[in-house]
Structure 1
Amino acid sequence: MASSFLRRNVITRNLKKPFYQNKRNSGYVVLIPEIGEDGDKNTLLSDNGLPEFNDITIEKCIATISKQSLEYENGVRQIEQSGPNCKNAFVEIFQPLEKLDNQLELTWGMAKTLYLGNSSLMPTKSYIQIHERAHKARSSKFNSVPIFQAAVNEKNRLKKLTDEEGRLLDKYILEGKLNGLDVKGLKRERLNNVLNDIQKQRGMIRDKVNIATKIFSSIINNEQVAKEFPESLAKSMSVNNDANKGPWKITLQPHIYEPFMQYCPDRDLRWNAWQAHVQRCSGYGNKDLETSTNIEKLRSLRLEQATILGYDTFVDMSMETKMAGSMENVLNVLDSLLECARPMQDIELDSLHKFAQERGFDKNLQLWDIPYWQRKQKWSLYNFDENKIREYFPLPKVVNSLFNLCSTLFKIQIFERSDTNTWHKDVKFYDIYDETSNRPIAGFYLDPYARQDEKIRVYDDAGWHVSIRNKSSISSTQPLSALIFNFQAPDSGHQSLLSFKEVNVLFKRFGHSLRHLLTKANYSEVAGLSNVEWDAAEVCGQVMTHWLYDPHTIQAISGHYRTDEPLPDDIIKNIQNIRRHMSGYDLCKELYFSRLDLEFHSKKTFWREIVQELWPKYNALPFDKYDSHPLSFTKIFSEEWGAAYYCHWWSKMIAADIYSAFDEARAGDQDITYIGKRYKDTFLAAGGSCHPSEVFRRFRGRDPSPHALLNNLGLTKKIVEE
């Protein structure tokens, strides 16, 4: 499905299913309630053109999105009339489509923001209803044969196109191709059936994994076992919601299972949870929940979908929307990373085993032992106390320092504006100015604090970026976005204090938002985060996090909440060391899952045979014959990451290479603001209006290399030392 590959990145990619399903149902749907008295105007905007967040209701949102969706679909049908006799597709088709997007996009973005920022005002069920209606309307232009043909004709007619014009046409052409618009007759009918069957299998896999995850539980009555648990984990596990009082219940929910495996000292309890986790949906227990049959059907259907659309494999189809461009390119990088990471894994596990033995552990390390002893070794080596570090990162200090860093690097100024309506009193609005204008070029909301029962929160992810409105020169709109976090609120007169992990999340989300806010593209369809290849989508966020490992920057952004003293040098050094702790083991694990995904979607071999072949190449520890982890691998089978799991580390690799340009400038006593300007003029300005491979070459003067990533993880240095 085209939108599965080329959807605009309006929420950072952590948003889970079913929000990005692209259901090609025929006909048009009008949601209830129908358009009422306010349907003739946009009731969601203030006089200053910004959203009227403090006066919004679900009814207004649904009525407005219903009206705008109908208008959008009618507008697409009218624009289609220009297709056959079109003289200039940009003037007659794509610019009118650009104007059509404006209002629908804004209302949709407001609904997303409320859903993540105040779910009591926008419950999940209501948001899904709004999202699916808006998504269906917007998809109509990519399912239009006349618009698709006009893009093809314009591409053939014009010999000289700007990067942006070429990318715009390519997007419509590729969307149309992936939607099967050039597939005719019985093949088209079969494609529709295949796509429907794919959705059914994905849904069945998702539902079975959810049920299997919820079924398992185990009770701990021994207080000694719970003694090492952090308070938050003990409270989450406590049957009585009391951290100090048992019994405590183990479940496979990620916010319980992952920290439990790190903090549980009882090896038998760890094994019991681990084997339940990796055997989910295997059929060893509940036969009704096995997913092996569904996964094999899904793999076969995806191959058939790709074949109908003219590709050899599903991976080949997926690579149409990836910076890497081909499976061969991905595998080459995978292999080069593995060459350094795999030998290091052996060394790290040997060191970890000796560490455990010295503390009375007399068994061979197994997979269910690693998280526990890895945490213990990290604490022993670096004495890393997250709560102590919090004292050096009061939120106001960190935010101001982040803004100052961006001001220095990118020559922008960020000012708070007070005359805006927000969804909560804690939310602030900021205008962004650049050095060439006395008027704002973009704006964003910042909602920093957790609010119980109001905000969506996913374990291990404390923040969201929402693109509320894209830049468009055609419709004269400026970028608008929201940054929504779940940081602890100020308490009893004390400032909000951030953990280092939370500082990292803040920098990553803000760096991600800069690509949206500072874009120079003219068409919203390729501006900012829109149309950016999946494996390059996280690059700008990852680049910003690298500044947290620069000693000068970390000292500048830190300041003890009582004394304003910067973070001590020994803690800064330990932060750098922790990033490298067991980095070979961790990287091998990600490389394994990436390769597994690619093999599943490029071969017909039964899944278990693929696992048995790949496991020893990436993992030093033996494979358990009952381990069936692919059967609950929802990211690639029921979410959107099939043949795309590698994208996260690819973005990390590109970001590390980009940031190394700043390191090189510092080493050569050059002005890093020159590098900052070049980065702003390439990655931040181009957005999706130029292929990221070309953008990288314009910034770096060459193609990307994995060396900087390996260097940051300490792998190249470690291998040489050994």
Structure 2
Amino acid sequence: MSAVSDNPLLDFTDLTHFDRITPADVEPAIRHLLDTASTTLATLEAADTPATWDDFVIPMTEATEHLGRAWGVVGHMHSVMDTPQWRAAYNDLLPEISGFYAELGQNEALYGKYRALHDSAEYANLSPVRQRIIDHELRDFRLSGAELPEAQKPRFKAISEEQSALGAKFSENLLDATNAFAEWVTDEAELAGLPEDEVAAARAAAEKEDRPGWKFTLQAPSYVPVMQYADSARLREVMYRANGTRASEHGKPEWDNGPIIGRLLALAAEEAKMLGYASYAELSLVPKMADSPEHALSFLRELGVKAKPYAERDLAELKAFAAKELGIAELNPWDMGYASEKLRQARYAFSENEVRQYFPEPRVLDGLFGVIESLYGVQLRHDTAPVWDPSVKVLRIERTGQLIGQLYLDLHARDTKRGGAWMDSARNRQRSGSRLLTPVAYVVCNFSPPVGDKPATLTHDDVVTLFHEFGHALHHLLTEVDEVAVSGIHGVEWDAVELPSQFMENFCWEWDVLSGMSAHVNTGEPLPRELFDKMLAARHFQSGMQMVRQLEFSLFDLRLYHEVDATQPVPIDTVLSLLEDVRKEVAVTKTPAWHRFPLSFAHIFAGGYSAGYYSYKWAEVLSADAFAAFEEAGEGRGSLLDAATGQRFWREILAVGGSRPALESFIAFRGREPQVDALLRHSGMLEAA
């Protein structure tokens, strides 16, 4: 598209024109916004621009707001519609975007204006929220290299640009390697054990390519059921091996993430050293709640000491069951999910697939909306707006008829969508003059799409995932802060940002919630209480093994960015050796030497969790303790959907966003500092505390 005036990426009057935007719009729109922002920043740098909130901070914020929103759309499309055209449009402009923000972070004149404002008489008269924003800006300028000698700034900028490019390439390699694999089954006997829905989906996938038999892929809706239900050990092993060697030296050389990891570690270490930190982990933790890498490592290891005995017991029970009941004398890694599901069924007399039939997607969404409406007194309505795929839903949140925010919901797996589930901001709440811009969010999942005339059904794990991502979305949408820098999820410490999301997961284990959001996909019958009681009894099933697995990921991440000598690109063997060392400390299961888990660990190499994966466990302590307030309020009432406690949670946690330290927000809600007991209780490990 040649003309800037009619470029849909530049229309910020309302929701994004996803029906009109094409990859060809990206280059002219982003270049225009880069030029506009640069011109404004040049004016703000000038000596005659006063270092005041109104004359400097407000235009400084506005200078990058439209650029951030437009580039956010491009990044979103790169994640959910990763066609060759969108990939090229994203990657072509990524170096310029990275370079712009790197230069902005190093701009000594702008940094000086913030310092001058901080040292001025005006600072003392600003609200605590605005003072916090200025303090954060000063910190972020320092971490972006603003205080570096001029001679070092080009190198620091180059590091930032290369990190962005490598992160994008890591994700693309993983997606391409995932999509490239297919296991074609022509012998119907190999389908034994698989649920009918999964067999039908595999058959539909084969028919789509005009081939006989059944097609299985590494996308989660196809891969997970095979590992959980397929009686064929051969099929499970083939799928496990393919999944475990994605984007590695075992596949196409151009998709090998090993060299990317080595280079990313070297760049992170160089960045940290330039800023005066001993490791990238030290640098990463500056804006987080944990005081130091040692603090976070100590926290993880304490949990490991409590969890490992439970994990060892879980594994011993599984091995005994597999040998006696399944004839599996030696439990291979591709047998773990299968044997675990069989043990679950034997012990609790239900299967995940049986539960799944009670959670058709429309009913689950209605139930989720009901929880949100009960807790916060808001209303969720379906909305109409342009979308990037016909399956995407648009929602609006209102309170007494007043629009609070809007949400895009993209639930189903597609070949062009990266794996996993996430929430991202599409627009931040902000006040511009007399006009209030309401926030907008994306919630993206990779659930199984509907097959035939039936609605899609969700596993209970899917339901938990949906609640989790909606927790993030509510944190963004229910903010009452008008300053962009600390509105919603912005400015919240990274190791506290999972509090609202993990908090929401707990409601998925409450009878009054689940019973109200269930209806058998064939009969319409609600979830039987007997089946729920079995699910509840099984809640802590293998919780020890689950916890040490998360601790393994967290310790590996933190130690990788804190202990490994990355003065040069790190060989993948060094990375794998460290992982093996971590496994000796906390893991109870054996992973094959050929497995290449780090090469698909996108969270810490392409997802912003570098030296921060421990945040999930850290925030789980906060979220479990916060949920305990609802348990206390609902004691004896039969329901935890207590509106008064919900309003307090909104007021003290969700509404304030990053406008004050997360610990202050938690104490304001709970009346005290967080305690680990609730997490241990929810994990069935309180007796070990």
TM-score category by the smaller chain? 0.7 to 0.9
Map 1:633-672; keep pairs closer than 5 Å: 633-637=601-605, 639-667=607-635, 672=642
SS at structure 1 position matched to 2:563: coil
Match of 1:468 in 2: 426
Distance of aligned partners of 1:469 and 1:227 in 2 relative to their CA distance in 1, 3 Å threshold: same
**Distance change in 2, residues 1:37/1:195 (3 Å):** closer
What secondary structure does 2:111 align onto? helix
1:407 aligned residue: 373
What CA distance in whole angstroms lies between the structure 2 residues aligned with 1:473 and 1:201? 36
Q: In 2 relative to 1, CA 224–543 (structure 1 residues): closer, same or farther, beyond 3 Å?
A: same
Instruction: Give, in whole Å, the separation in 1 of the partners of 2:646 and 2:137.
Output: 33
Matched residues, percent identical?
25
Matched residue, 1:689: 659
Q: Is the 8 A contact 2:221 2:448 kept in 1?
A: no
Residue of structure 2 in register with 1:97 after alignment = 60
Aligned to 1:171: 136
| Equivalent residue, structure 1, for 2:545 | 585
1:371 Cα deviation from its structure 2 partner: 2.1
Structure 1 residues 488 and 98, CA gap change in structure 2 (3 angstroms):
same
2:146 to 181, 185, 189: 181
The amino acid that maps onto 1:570 is: E
Deviations 1:307-366 (A, max 9, x none): 210112111001023232322332232122212210001111111112112224252334
- Taking the TM superposition and a 5 Å limit, the aligned residue runs for 1:592-631 are 592-604=552-564, 606-607=574-575, 609-622=577-590, 629-630=597-598
Distance 1:116 1:206 in 2: 9
Find the counterpart in structure 2 of residue 439 from structure 1: 402
The residue aligned with 1:527 is 487
Corresponding residue for 2:571?
none
Alpha-carbon RMSD? 4.3
Q: Kindly provide the amino acid, as one letter, of the partner of residue 151 in structure 1.
A: Y
Per the TM alignment, residue 168 of structure 1 is displaced from its structure 2 partner at its CA by 1.4
Separation (CA, whole Å) in 2 of partners of 1:141 and 1:705? 40
Aligned: 1:152 with 2:115: yes
Alpha-carbon distance between aligned partners in 2 of 1:482 and 1:211, rounded to the nearest angstrom: 23
Distance 1:50 1:357 in 2: 57
The residue number in structure 1 matching 2:568 is: none
Aligned-partner Cα distance in 2 for 1:422–1:205: 27
Asked if the contact 2:9–2:16 (Cα under 8 Å) also holds between the matched residues in 1, the reply is: no
Give yes or no for contact 2:312–2:588 (8 Å, CA) kept in 1.
yes
Where in structure 2 are the equivalents of 1:258-273 lying within 5 Å? 258-267=224-233, 270=236
CA offset at residue 698 of structure 1?
A: 1.6
* Cα distance between partner residues in 2 of 1:366 and 1:311: 42
Of residues 350-359 and 100-109 in structure 1, the stretch that sits farther from structure 2 once superposed is: 100-109
Shift of 1:253: 6.6
89-98 or 482-491: which moved more?
482-491
What SS class does the counterpart of residue 414 from structure 1 fall into? strand
SS in 1 for 2:588: coil
Task: Tell me the residue number matched to 2:644.
Answer: 674
For 2:405, the aligned partner's letter is: G
Once the 2 structures are TM-superposed, how far is the Cα of residue 551 of structure 1 from its aligned partner? Answer: 1.4
CA deviations on 1:581-618 (whole Å, 9 max, x unpaired) are: 11101111110121112112111365455344332221
Relative distance call for 1:53 and 1:121 in structure 2 (3 A) is: farther
Which one-letter code corresponds to 1:359 in the other structure?
E
Q: Which amino acid aligns with 1:693?
A: L
- Give the deviation of 1:500 after TM superposition: 3.0
Counterpart CA distance in 2 for 1:481 and 1:661 is 27
Distance 2:476 2:673 in 1: 24
Q: What CA distance in whole angstroms lies between the structure 2 residues aligned with 1:292 and 1:491?
A: 37
Query: What is the distance in 1 between the residues matched to 2:18 and 2:260?
Result: 43
CA contact (8 A) 1:234 1:242 kept: no
User: Where does residue 533 of structure 2 map in the other structure?
Assistant: 573
Structure 1: gaps (5+ residues): 1-32
Change (3 A) 1:684 1:439: same
Equivalent position SS for 2:406 = strand
**Comparing 203-212 and 71-80, the one that deviates more:** 203-212
Q: How many pairs are equivalent?
A: 674
Q: Which residue of 1 aligns with 2:293?
A: 327
Aligned CA distance change for structure 1 residues 323 and 272 (closer, same or farther; 3 Å): same
Shift of 1:126: 3.7
CA distance in 1 between counterparts of 2:174 and 2:626 reads 38
The normalised TM-score by structure 1 is: 0.79
Alignment partner of 1:361 out of 327, 330, 355: 327
| Greater shift in the superposed pair: 153-162 or 565-574 | 153-162
Displacement of 1:663 after TM fit? 0.7
Change beyond 3 A, Cα 1:294–1:113: closer
- Greater Cα shift, 697-706 or 277-286: 277-286
SS in 2 for 1:580: coil
State the partner residue of 1:504. Answer: 464
Which of 295, 302, 311 matches 2:268?
Answer: 302
The letter for the 1-side match of 2:6 is D
Q: Does 1:74 align with 2:39?
A: yes
CA displacement 1:536-578 (0-9 Å, x = unmatched): 2232222222111111222233345677653211222233344
Residue 73 of structure 1, CA deviation: 2.0
Give 1:711 deviation, angstroms. 1.5
Aligned to 1:9: none
Aligned-residue offset at 1:535: 2.2
Q: How does 1:149-228 map to 2 (within 5 A)?
A: 149-157=112-120, 158-159=123-124, 162-192=127-157, 194-195=159-160, 223-228=188-193
Using the TM superposition, name which of 540-549 and 493-502 deviates more: 493-502
What letter is aligned with 1:406? I
Greater shift, 252-261 or 152-161, is seen at 252-261
CA 1:175–1:34 in structure 2 vs 1: closer, same or farther (change >3 Å)?
farther
Q: Give how far 1:496 is off.
A: 5.5
Offset at residue 531 of structure 1 (A): 2.4
Q: TM-score if structure 2 supplies the norm length?
A: 0.83
Verify the 8 A CA contact 2:380 2:396 in the aligned structure 1. Answer: yes
Residue 173 of structure 1 aligns with an amino acid whose one-letter code is L
Query: Structure 1 470/346 Cα, relative in aligned 2: closer, same or farther at 3 Å?
Result: same
Moved more, 680-689 or 616-625: 616-625
* SS of 2:513 mapped into structure 1: helix
In 2, distance between residues paired with 1:213 and 1:496?
23
Q: Give the whole-Å Cα distance in 1 for the aligned partners of 2:82 and 2:514.
A: 34
Counterpart secondary structure, 1:443: strand
Q: After superposition, where does 1:13-92 map in structure 2 within 5 Å?
A: 33-36=1-4, 38=6, 44=11, 49-59=14-24, 63-81=28-46, 84=47, 87-92=50-55
Shift of 1:123: 4.0
Do the aligned partners of 1:337 and 1:706 also contact (CA within 8 Å) in 2?
no
SS at match of 1:640: coil
Residues 121, 545 of structure 1: alpha-carbon distance in 2 compared, 3 angstrom cutoff? farther
Relative to 1, partners in 2 of residues 1:312 and 1:537: Cα closer, same or farther, differing over 3 Å?
A: same
* Secondary structure at the counterpart of residue 528 of structure 1: coil
